[in-house]
Structures are given as C-alpha cells and as structure tokens.
Amino acid sequence: MARIAAPRGTADILPDDARRWQALENAMRDVFARYGYGEIRTPIFEHTELFARGIGEDTDVVEKEMYTFEDRGERSLTLRPEGTAGAVRAYLERRLDTEPQPVKLWYAGPMFRYERPQAGRARQFHQLGAECIGTMDPAADAEIIAMAASLFRRIGLADYELHLNSIGCPQCRPAYVRKLREALEPVRDSLCKSCQDRFERNTLRVLDCKRESCRAATQDAPSILDSLCEECADHFATVRRYLDELGIEYVINPRLVRGLDYYTKTVFEFLSPVLGAQDALGGGGRYDGLVETLGGPPTPAVGFAAGMERILLAAEGTLRGEAAALDAYVATLGDAGRRVGVVLAERLRRAGLRAELDYMGRSLKAQMRQANRLGAKTVLIIGDDEAKAGTVQLRDMESGDERTVGVDEAVHVLQEKRGEK
C-alpha cells in the first residue's frame, strides 16, 4: 500500500533531536521561573474571532495564514497562529485580572501558520513565549527583553542582534502614519504589489518589506521616533535606560514595525545572522490595547515569543542534548536465564536505574555488542547456572572486570555506581 507522508511544513522530532528540545525546555523553565513567570497552557484551537480581532484583520497572519475550519457544530475555529491572543483571552475568562497585578505567564507549544515552508519556516512550528499583563512600567519591557536574553545566554546563543523601536500609541501614531503616507505617495508606484496593498490598509508595514527595491524607495521615510507623543517618548527613553543599565546591547531600528497589529510603544526583535532569510529568532513588544480589544478593561501588557526551531538552529554548536547513559544491560542465555533477566531488568528500573535487555533473540556475543553500542556501563550476564544459583556475572564495561555476585548485591553495586556520578 502507498505510504502516507507527513503534511508539508511539519516535522517529526525524533528521540536524538528531542534531547536537544528537552535541553532547551529545561533551560527555558529555569529561566522563566527565575523571573517569576508561571506556565499557562491554552487550547490549540480557539474561536476564529479571537485571532481576527486580536491580531488584526489586515495582517498577513489573519488574512492568509490561518488554519481555519468549521467544526461539526458549524463553529469557525482556528489553530492558534501565536500565543498572545489565547493568553489574554484566558486572563480575562479565568479572572486573572482579579489577582495581584501584573500577571506573568509563559507558554511553549505548537503554533500553526499556512506559510510557504523554507529553512526556518514551517506550517506547524513551536514558540516559547511570555506575557506580563497589567503593568505599564517600562521596567517590565526591560524584564521581558532581559529574560529572553538570559535564555539565549544560558544556552550559549550569543550571535544575535537585538533591534528595538517604538511604534507609538493611538494618540501619536495616526499623525505619523499620515506623514508616512505623504512621504511615500511619490514613490508609491515603485513599491512591490503587496506594499502597494499595504500602503492602503496598513501603511506602517511598508517599512517592514524585505525587498531591496522597496527598501530603497522608503529609505528617506520619516522616522516614527520623531513623531512619538511625550508619553511614548518618555516610555521609550526609560526602556532604553534600563537596558543600558542591565548591560543589554541593542540597535535602534525605526523601521521595525512587527507583523501583528496589537503592538503599542515598545517593539523588539532578536535577529540571528546564521538563520538566513528567516532571521528572526523571536520578537515582541508592548500591547496596551489588546485586553480592551478582547472585551476587557484597559490593561497594559508586554510580551515576547521566539521560534523554538530557530533557536535550536542558531544554538547548533552550543546546545547539546544529554544522551542518558545506560546503567546496565541485562544479557541472558537460555530459558531460565531469560526469565530471571526479565524480572531483574524491571527490578533495576524500579530502583531508579536505566536498564535494557534484548528482545531480538540475539546471541550472547551480539548482546554484548548491543550493550556496547548503547553505552552500558555494566552488563549483568545471567545463564541457566546463574539463574539456578541466584547470582549474576557482573561485568564492568570500562575496566573489563568480571565477577559473580548475588542478585541483591548486583542491584546494590549499580546503585552505588550511579550515586558516584
């Protein structure tokens, strides 16, 4: 029968790879806990309306990248393309707004975007992210950025640039957008097709186009940083001051506008030179209007998310998964030896040891080779004689020493050896 392949843009994470994922997840849990963030797990699918309203109808994500379907009850549902909208929905629905503020949440898991797959871009990918909801303190912006930098440092990922910008607020942004439209009007026809479209509906996004010709055409566009209102300018200056005091290097990039519509004030992105075209390791910013857009009271917030696949790629040389060493391989010979061996392996595992045995009817010699391949530190050999005597032959694979001991003693020796590490 014909085989069925995995859908385009998805990946299988096999055990060897999964060890690196686990190393990243362990580092992430530890770092997030140090900063006082608690884990939230929200559904993989939500009402389509949540993303349409939250992320913005005029964004690429909502317009053309969502996995939207109707369920059997004719509700429109969407596989989550990101984690912020779901976290904010839960914050409101579960009344986290009644707890002491800010509420600090982190999450990690699969996200879905119907994009053209390429290196660093998938249709099912994974994000780790954090949201600090309920404070407008610029120190919270700095904390989120410092926390991401801390995670990168922790896994040895040092080769990246942090780009920083402020895109203002509903008070000052409209005036800037008008100014930008005026400035771009004369070069409008030289913009790419999607920028011409953006020009109409989401003018800021024109600044974000990666095409050389669009970059050139918009090179002299006014900087949003010159149009910030006093509050946004103060906020930005304070975020910068904190980052300076924390020793976190950044590049001011007035063209950085981000692809989702909920941002206000601070926006940032971590860019890695080793990732090629899809160079954003992660990004985020402040979204002071989102809670209200989703039906809550005015509530400021700031957060970030990073692509886990991209982090793993960028940390290729430094983040290693630990291959767990096998404490014991139980090699058996003959029916009686086999019966004792099966029970002994289980006993070792219950005692907290890693033990393995053969399931392929291998000869003793082949079992020894297998033990070697698996990196077993000790092999316990049980033939019919040992089974009858209640003993095992214990071979230390490093020294090659071999001796006969009672079963209880073998368990004890292995536990001691484990403890020495």
83 vs 138, which CB is nearer to ligand HAM? Answer: 83
Distance CA 108, CA 26 (A): 12
Distance CA 167, CA 197 (A): 20
Q: How far is the CB of 284 from ligand HAM (least distance, A)?
A: 4
CA 60 from centre of chain:
21
CB environment 368-385: b (16+ within 10 A), e (fewer): bebbeeeebbbbbbbbbe
Q: How far is the CB of 85 from ligand HAM (least distance, A)?
A: 8
Report which of 242, 271, 240, 241 is spatially closest to residue 255, judged by C-alpha positions: 271
**Quick one: tokens of 312?**
């793993």
3-state secondary structure the chain: CCCCCCCCCCCCCCHHHHHHHHHHHHHHHHHHHHCCCEECCCCCEEEHHHHHHHHCCCCHHHHHCCCEEECCCCCEEEECCCCHHHHHHHHHHCCHHHCCCCEEEEEEEEEECCCCCECCECCEEEEEEEEEECCCCHHHHHHHHHHHHHHHHHCCCCCCEEEEEECCCCCCHHHHHHHHHHHHHHHHHHCCHHHHHHHHHCHHHHHHCCCHHHHHHCCCCCCHHHCCCHHHHHHHHHHHHHHHHCCCCCEECCCCCCCCCCCEEEEEEEECHHHCCCCEEEEEEECCCHHHHCCCCCCCEEEEEEEHHHHHHHCCCCCCCCCCCCCEEEEECHHHHHHHHHHHHHHHHHCCCCEEECCCCCCHHHHHHHHHHCCCCEEEEECHHHHHHCEEEEEECCCCCEEEEEHHHHHHHHHHHHHHC
Q: How far is the CB of 308 from ligand HAM (least distance, A)?
A: 8
60 vs 197, which CB is nearer to ligand HAM? Answer: 60
Q: How far is the CB of 108 from ligand HAM (least distance, A)?
A: 11
Q: How far is the CB of 118 from ligand HAM (least distance, A)?
A: 9
Whether 139 contacts 242, CB under 8 Å? yes
Q: How far is the CB of 266 from ligand HAM (least distance, A)?
A: 10
56 vs 129, which CB is nearer to ligand HAM? Answer: 129
131 vs 288, which CB is nearer to ligand HAM? Answer: 131
Interface residues with ligand HAM (CB under 6 A) are 82-84, 113, 115, 121-122, 125, 127, 129, 131, 259-260, 280-285, 287, 303-307, 309-310
284 vs 300, which CB is nearer to ligand HAM? Answer: 284
78 vs 84, which CB is nearer to ligand HAM? Answer: 84
391-396 vs 402-406, strand pairing mode: antiparallel
160 vs 242, which CB is nearer to ligand HAM? Answer: 160
Q: How far is the CB of 128 from ligand HAM (least distance, A)?
A: 9
Q: How far is the CB of 184 from ligand HAM (least distance, A)?
A: 24
Q: How far is the CB of 16 from ligand HAM (least distance, A)?
A: 21
Q: How far is the CB of 410 from ligand HAM (least distance, A)?
A: 49
61 vs 228, which CB is nearer to ligand HAM? Answer: 61
134 vs 285, which CB is nearer to ligand HAM? Answer: 285
272 vs 332, which CB is nearer to ligand HAM? Answer: 272
Q: How far is the CB of 212 from ligand HAM (least distance, A)?
A: 22
143 vs 386, which CB is nearer to ligand HAM? Answer: 143
